[in-house]
Amino acid sequence: MPLFILCKWGINDRSVFEGREGPVEIGFTYFDCTRNSFKDIALRAIISDIHANLEALEAVLTDIRRSGIAEIYCLGDVIGYGPNPCECIELVYPFDKCLLGNHDQAALFDPDGFNASAERAVFWTRGQLEAAAGSERQQKRWDYLGELPRLVREPNFMYVHGSARNPLNEYVFPEDIYNERKMERIFSLVEKYCFQGHTHIPGVFTEDLNFLAPEEIDFTYELGAKKVLINVGSVGQPRNGDPRSSYVVLDQNTIHFKRVEYDFNKTAQKIYAIQDLDNFLGDRLKEGR
């Protein structure tokens, strides 16, 4: 009896499995056709820092659907910096989990600790969210943002935007491996594995204070006995010198770091056309900085 994928993403692609009985390769993973429930397959996409970049989000969601992934978690900063905050929020609604990021919070309340250009972007974003005030769609977006959690815990797993110590605002940069005190404190708050975003730089922090960039580990990391912090990178504003969107897939105990191309010129053009969004916010997309 061939398995077919049926999930809220509309991946109902029987043709992939029809007439096949052995394992079927989809994307980078194998599904066993003899299993009869898609729920048995623990594939989860973890994305972060969309930053109102619609072209990047759509490209990543297409990649996720093509890989037959059922679950999506987002670690926050759905909005801020980019030209399409409303559209991006609405695309996030069906996700299984979404956290509050510092930019989401800034749009809801008041920007704190932002530079002048980021602050102008916050106020422009808020204006977009407040447009058509009173309409059902506007209210729903506002309520959705206001109810996002700062932290999600599951057995062995923890999900934050910034860090386990300060889920909303603390950066954990690769160079922090030299800051033993900071890292020890953060690791002490993590049961096993912590997924985070915020810096827009993907990679794995180990408890013995190493930072493993995805390209150094062949874009794969096997979760084991040791505690790790995993930064999933950014969908909408990558900053590690590669303009492609970054996200990770959790497949049982294996983490796959993924990169996805998108039309960053289109996003940049939209940014250039909006006075309150600094041109630099468009320029940086082309270089991934």
- Rule CB under 5 A: which residues touch Zn ion? 49, 77
Distance between CA atoms of residues 233 and 259, nearest Å: 10
Two tokens, residue 66: 């093509």
User: Strand, coil or helix: what is 26?
Assistant: strand
Find the shortest distance in angstroms from Cβ 77 to Zn ion: 4
Cβ-based nearer residue to Zn ion, 49 or 278: 49
CA distance 20 to 5: 14
Judged by beta carbon, residue 33 or residue 232, the one nearer Zn ion is 232
Taking the complex as a whole, the smallest distance from the CB of residue 289 to Zn ion amounts, in Å, to: 14
| Nearest Cα residue to 76 out of 188, 165, 157, 152 | 152
Give 162 or 214: the residue with its C-beta nearer to Zn ion. Answer: 162
Task: Return d(Cα 252, Cα 273) in angstroms, integer.
Answer: 44
Which is closer to Zn ion, CB of 198 or CB of 270? 198
- CA–chain centroid gap for 189, Å, is 22
Q: Least distance in Å: CB of 184 to Zn ion?
A: 25
SS3 state at 130: helix
> Residue 44: phi, psi to the nearest 5?
-135, 130
**DSSP for 264-277, written as a single string:** HHHHHHHHHT-TTS
The residue (of 77 and 278) whose beta carbon lies closer to Zn ion is 77
| Alpha helices per DSSP H over the chain | 54-66, 85-92, 102-108, 116-130, 136-146, 180-188, 264-272, 279-287
CB of 222 to Zn ion, least distance (A): 27
Three-state SS for 83? Answer: coil
Q: Answer for the pair 71, 8: CB distance below 8 angstroms, yes or no.
A: no
Q: Which is nearer to Zn ion, 33 or 168 (CB)?
A: 168
Tell me how far, at minimum, the Cβ of 237 lies from Zn ion, in Å. 7
Least separation in angstroms between residue 270's CB and Zn ion is 18
Residue 197, CB-side half-sphere exposure with 13 Å CA sphere:
35
Residue 49 or 251 with smaller CB distance to Zn ion: 49
Q: Compute the least distance from the CB of residue 136 to Zn ion, in Å.
A: 28
